Amino acid sequence: MSLLLNPYQVLRGLLPDAPLQVGTVVSVTNGIAAVQLPGGGVLRARGDAYIGQNVFVRDGVVEGTAPSLPLQLIDV
């Protein structure tokens, strides 16, 4: 029996998944939220959010609401 492998799927299997990040929404325009990350960076993500809300973001999409917990940054 021969195995047929899709080269694209093999390549995708080698790449890591997009990280899940948490941040605070600083502005929303036409369904695009600007999310400020704890390190100071800002990214844009699609999804429902409102200003001041903590959200989970992955791959440019708001995945949901994040809890309002104290944040501890650790430099490695």
46 found inside a domain: yes
pTM (global) more than 0.85:
no
Nearest CA to 55 out of 29, 72, 30, 32 is that of 32
**pLDDT number for residue 5:** 84
pLDDT tens column, 25-72: 999 999 999 999 988 999 999 999 999 999 999 999 999 999 988 877
**pLDDT number for residue 42:** 96
Range of the domain at 57: 18-65
Give the confidence band of 2 by pLDDT, cuts at 50, 70, 90.
low
51 found inside a domain: yes
Q: How many residues in the chain? A: 76
Question: Residue 74 is encoded by which pair of tokens?
Answer: 């650790």
* Domain of residue 28, CATH code: 2.40.50.140
Q: How far is CA 47 from CA 39, 43, 44, 67, in A?
A: 22, 13, 10, 17
Q: How far apart are CA 73 and CA 38, in angstroms?
A: 8
